[in-house]
A and B are shown apart, each in its own frame.
Chain A
Amino acid sequence: MGLIDNIKEYQHNFAVNSKKEKAYLSFLEQGFPNTKNEEWKFSSLKKIISNDFSIEDKGIEINTEEINHNSLNFNYKIIFVNGVLDSKPIIKGVKINKHVDESPSFSNAFSALNAAFSNTGYEINVDPNIIIEEPIEILFLTKNSSNNFIQYRNKIVLGENSQIKIIESVKNIGDQYCFTNMQTNIKLNRSSNIEFNKLQNNNDSQITIDETSLTQEENSNSTVNTLLFGGMFTRNNLNFAQNGEHCESNMNGVVILDDNEFGDNHTYMDHKNANCESNELYKGIYLGKSRGVFNGKIMVQPDAQKINAFQANNNLLVSDNASINSKPQLEIYADDVKCSHGCTIGQLDENALFYMNTRGIRKEDARAILTFAFASEALEKISINKIEDLAKDLIAQKLKVDLSF
């Protein structure tokens, strides 16, 4: 069989001519992307989709202890347990609901699939002028009984002058393959501000497709920090569209992968209006036989003058068997634009390692310290200390050293 056949079994489950059926048919027409598709050139799903997946796995019961153990234990928590909204905080000026979008839009195979099948996710509406300093933790926790394929669909709308901070993670504690296809749309109204932290620290049975799209109105400010620390296969599509002037978009990523893990970060920055700024910094660290892909596209539309766009993707290949494909893509149609980009692929500096050794720092620790130093710049935009500390601990864990950075 295989996943595509599992999906085909749902032919008769959709109301004729419904939006969901259209999405379903659109997916069947497209099929899963293969490596002939330029956007998926280095990211093969072939092996993964040759497995069977259940689309309606209800999961195994998860007890409170397991929930607490997997939660980051912030005060404000939105927790989904096996797809069901289990708890949500009460915050003045913020409406939080389980999100069921009746007319989802779709533009590619995965968004079509998500539009057809998704029946869970969160919707957060922040009232105008509401500033929430305390971060909201969002956890999607599952414990599967068979290989499962889950679609989450989320939506955040920030009212004018509002501000929130999010830390989101997806985690499966079952022992079968968990394939997550998540679509998140974030709308920033005028002068609003979001810091969105994605923690992707999964084991090697997790497959993640994540598409997060932000649309920004005038004077708004967004920061998305992606912490990709583990998972068998992760593909992130992160899209920003600036619909008004004086917007700022920041995207930072730290990728640390080991063994046979694969991580792909595709970003798309669409500068549609003048006087805006974007900053992008992704740091990749590849150990073992891990593989990475970075594809960062910056588009500056004809009327988008006085744009400042910065992009850097720096990579460290710690092992000879690791690899990275890094590709910046710039399309600039305006003339008064400051745009810089750079991509580097390197190894740890042997002279620096020797220097540290002579000061009594063990090789493994010297490597870890240099590696952390390499990554640290991309952690700077995280304003939440607890997340920064967590990231540091996870990096130490990932590098297998007992150090506090």
Chain B
Amino acid sequence: MLKIDNLKAGIEGLEILKGINLSVKKGEVHAIMGPNGSGKSTLSSVIAGNENYEVISGSISFEGEDLLDLDPDQRAHKGVFLSFQYPVEIPGISVSNFIKAAITEKRKVLGLEAMSAKDLLLKMKEKMDLLDMQKGYLSRNMNEGFSGGEKKRNEIFQMAMLEPKLAILDETDSGLDIDALRVVANGVNKLKNSENATIVITHYQRLLDHIIPDYVHVLHNGRIVKSGGKELAHELEKKGYDWITKEADKKWG
């Protein structure tokens, strides 16, 4: 589904990603872990199409198509979704109007019939139930004045509404309380099927207790320096990153 080949990218002459290779297949869950500043959010931004980052070399293909050729909205229409580490406040637009605009446009581009207001509302209700959200959310302005946890829940709500093929969850767990973490993780699990894939970026094992990854990767200084199964995350939780990063630094200098 997603294939990243020797991707180098950066900002204003600073190389942040220094050759990323990653392959994600349908139905898989990948976890990306790594120290602060290692490039996890940069990688998700580049996949989503943030023009602030310059792709220096390498490629990203999504379902056989060159993703780097597409604008962020076109990537979204193809089924790429990013749950932001820091969701943006959009004053003046209610959550429901925002989601309505997103869904209407996606359906238009895909040549699907517009969803009726009633169907849309029903679907929103259903997904809000799934994520244990109160009705009041819909009429509030997008992320404006939302608590950290509310913002994260709202990201997953959008994911549930947009039903992406590839979801990248950038530290969705940070800011969520213990109960919310469980609810949100359950929501993500319910949305999972054999046709879609998830990349979970996190610092902590506790999210991976709920969303069980097939692969765990360690990102350090712009490179994936170690990959393994779900047991790698347990090992990291116990031993930290030092033992991996030191070795990597020896290799890459």
Interface residues of A (CB under 8 A from B): 349-352, 354-363, 365-366, 369-370, 372-374, 376-377, 403
Contacts and interface: CB of A to CB of B under 8 A. Distances in A.
Given A358-B49, A359-B98, A373 B92 contact: yes
B100 to A, nearest CB: 10
Contact of B84 (A355, A360, A377): A355
Contact of A372 (B75, B92, B98): B92
Contact of B81 (A358, A365, A370): A358
B50 A360 contact: no
Contacts of A372: 92
Enumerate the 4 nearest inter-chain pairs by beta-carbon distance, A residue then B residue, closest first. A373-B92, A360-B76, A357-B72, A355-B88
Interface string B43-87: 000001111100000000000000000011101110011101001
Interface residues of B, number: 31
Interface in B138-173: 158, 162
Contacts of A377: 92
A363 B73 contact: yes
B105 to A, nearest CB: 5
A374 B81 CA distance: 26
B91 interface: yes
B175 to A, nearest CB: 17
A351 B88 contact: yes
13 contacts: A354-B50, A354-B52, A355-B90, A357-B49, A358-B48, A358-B72, A358-B73, A358-B81, A358-B82, A361-B73, A361-B105, A362-B105, A363-B73
Contacts of B102: 356, 359-361
A361 B109 CA distance: 10
Given A359-B158, A365-B101, 12 more contacts: A352-B88, A352-B90, A355-B90, A356-B90, A356-B101, A357-B49, A357-B71, A358-B73, A358-B80, A359-B98, A360-B103, A363-B71
Given A354-B50, A369-B101, A360 B77 contact: yes
Interface of B: 48-52, 71-73, 75-77, 80-82, 84, 87-93, 98, 101-103, 105-106, 109, 158, 162
Secondary structure of the A contact surface, majority rule: helix
Nearest to A402: B108
Contact of B73 (A349, A362, A373): A362
Contacts of B101: 356, 361, 365, 369, 403
Contacts of A376: 92
A365 B105 contact: yes
